[in-house]
Amino acid sequence: MERQDAKKRVEELRSLVEEYGYHYYVLDRPLVSDAEYDQLFQELVKLEAEFPELRTDDSPTVRVGGEVLPYFEKVEHRIPMLSLGNAFSADDLYDFDRRVRQLVGDSVSYTCELKIDGLAVSLQYEQGRFVRGATRGDGTIGEDITENLKTIPAIPLRLREPITIEVRGEAYMPKPSFEKLNEAKEQAGEEKFANPRNAAAGSLRQLDPKLAAKRNLSMFTYAIGLVEGKIFSTHSEGLDYLGELGFRVNRESRRCETIEEVIRYTEEWVEKRAELPYEIDGIVIKVDQLDLQEKLGFTAKSPRWATAFKFPAEEVVTKLEDIELSVGRTGVVTPTALLTPVTVAGTTVKRASLHNEDLIREKDLKLGDYVVIKKAGDIIPEVVNVLPERRDGTQRDFSMPTHCPDCGSELVRLEGEVALRCINPQCPAQIKEGLIHFVSRNAMNIDGLGERIIVQLFDHDLVRDVADLYKLERDALLALERMGEKSVDNLLQAIEQSKANSLERLLFGLGIRFVGAKAAKTLAIEFGSIDRLIQAEEEELVAVNEIGEKMAASIRRYFQKPEVLALITELQRLGVNTNYNGPKRQVTNVEEGNSPFAGKTVVLTGKLEQLTREEAKDRIEALGGKVTGSVSKKTDLVIAGEAAGSKRKKAEQLQIEIWDEAKMLENLQ
């Protein structure tokens, strides 16, 4: 065939294969038989092999998988992919509805969607062409799995409009594909996947796209991240538009005008979920109006305008064989139930959390008992209750130890706490757990430094604190078990790169008691450097929005320890960044005389009628004020709404000026 004729036939075949594939994989309405589709597809493959210059990146033939990848590149999401808060009952859904209506009024409707049990991904299109796909990762940074995602027929490689858009969706493995895959693994003598979610995630994280192509994955899109040139008023309009572009959108979504309708929808799918050809683990409920979503905003981890209703957990009976004790990075000794292996919600469970000694006593657990277990939120196994009627006299009482199971130091129970704690700062278990926390994804995010390697490093006396991680040498790492030259070089590179992390990651990684990821970022933004934070007095810390007295006292105690100051100095000497690198808080140049809020520290308390708390905060800060969460001697002004409580009383005691909402609104003009 001449090149010109080949070019014409290739274009014709691509058009046909794309159209037939869209009807088969997206609409579930085949236009031709499988045999006819396969014949056209193979003809296209043959022509592109004969005329390789005619092959394009968005040709349907890329779905068979390309070359093996050396590794996955990191991808930063332009808009974070946040997780959702959970609801487990109708009462939780009523609470969610009440919180929404308190902030935005009663004119709210919801979109309900099936929560597909798979792997959340982001797809980027430029001028209608698929250019990049990534995993959710930690919500901020994921992995580039573009080549694997291209193998999924339900993901269009070219949209029906030449638009630039980023969409979010859930890649999953249909039940028939999962069963077929596990059958093949069983015949090959390989370990089977525990559930379709794990199988989908494992398939998309294969470095060989050809393997991903064989797994028969699919995908539903559920949201638009960014889009150029389009404006929608509701989330459901956006879903309709995704369908028009050629994406597979779940047909079972429903718009509900009341929370009672939402609850009926969830009850309906509790009964019907087993009939679906794919796994779901709940229902996602979103405020439909996009302007209300914007008003509701976000917490550090999740949107306030959405929640995930999780189906009631499956409960099963198994035997409590023993109780294992572990020491965490803060010294807390945690008991864990060791169980006769049993399948719960599609996975094999051998262990379950027991939290503390009081819970063991409360549930009257004895070694050898038969117990009921479930997965809380279909994720964390927990012991629900014991079955005393099945006792036969062989069961034994369990007692918590008086000394640390790792270092032998005497355990203590601090005032007001239920947990037993090892307070030996040199306890090996605490040091190892602290190191594991330091390198974790939300902290310094050092790729390749998992628990196994941390334990090896500690056991070989290569690390004793986090600063030692930055002193590791290549030859010492090569001597460790299962550490080749390439993995060592990658690890050293990851450690070096982590030195440039912004301050909030270091603060979280240090494991300061009560300081989580959100508080670490707040402190980093507020103080800018660790040196400045070390110098901050307790009152100054409490004045920071969302930093309470308990956390402030913990921060001061931490930075007063000589060994901590020595560690910070050593980290700085080794080149670890101790400054905040992120976007600075917006500062408005407002002169003192031009605004009653300029230069003042303001606290909002009680319920506001005209503005949400966030709206009031934004407007005050735009006029040069600083809004904090606690009243202290440094507070200049308190805005007291309806039912203002302890903060108003403290302001009166400190003789701080107090305004009502009306006066605030008058001065915001």
Tokens 């089977």 belong to residue: 192
Question: Rounded distance, CA 287 to CA 281, Å?
Answer: 20
The residue ranges of DSSP E strands in 276-404, in sequence order, are 280-287, 306-310, 315-327, 333-344, 347-353, 370-376, 380-386
Closest CA to 420 of 533, 499, 335: 335
Q: How many CB atoms lie within 10 A of CB 623?
A: 16
Strands 110-116 and 141-143: unpaired
Strand partners, 285: 112, 307
Closest CA to 88 of 305, 311, 273, 286: 311
Strands 601-605 and 637-640: parallel
The residue ranges of DSSP E strands in 156-211, in sequence order, are 165-172
Query: Residue 396 has what DSSP assignment?
Result: B
Set 115, 150, 375, 521: catalytic member: 115
The residue ranges of DSSP E strands in 577-634, in sequence order, are 601-605, 626-628
* Total residues found in the chain within this entry: 669
Question: Rounded distance, CA 554 to CA 271, Å?
Answer: 48
Tokens 């810390």 belong to residue: 541
Helix, strand, coil share of the chain (percent; to 5): 40, 20, 40
Cα dihedral 459, 464, 468, 469 sign:
positive
Question: Rounded distance, CA 89 to CA 270, Å?
Answer: 12
Question: Rounded distance, CA 293 to CA 304, Å?
Answer: 8
Question: Rounded distance, CA 473 to CA 68, Å?
Answer: 30
Backbone angles phi, psi at 294, to 5 degrees: -65, -40
CA of 129: how far to CAs of 133, 143, 161, in Å? 12, 20, 9
Exposure string over 311-343, b if 16+ CB within 10 A, otherwise e? bebeebebebeebebebbbebbbebbbebeeee
Token pair listed for 467: 């600063």
Counting Cα atoms < 13 Å in the Cβ hemisphere of 323 gives 24
- Check if 617 is active-site: no
* Sheet of 165-172, strands arranged across: 129-135, 119-126, 165-172, 218-227
Question: Rounded distance, CA 304 to CA 82, Å?
Answer: 11
Closest CA to 613 of 634, 641, 654: 641
CA of 553: how far to CAs of 79, 432, 556, in Å? 34, 25, 5
Q: Which residues are catalytic?
A: 115
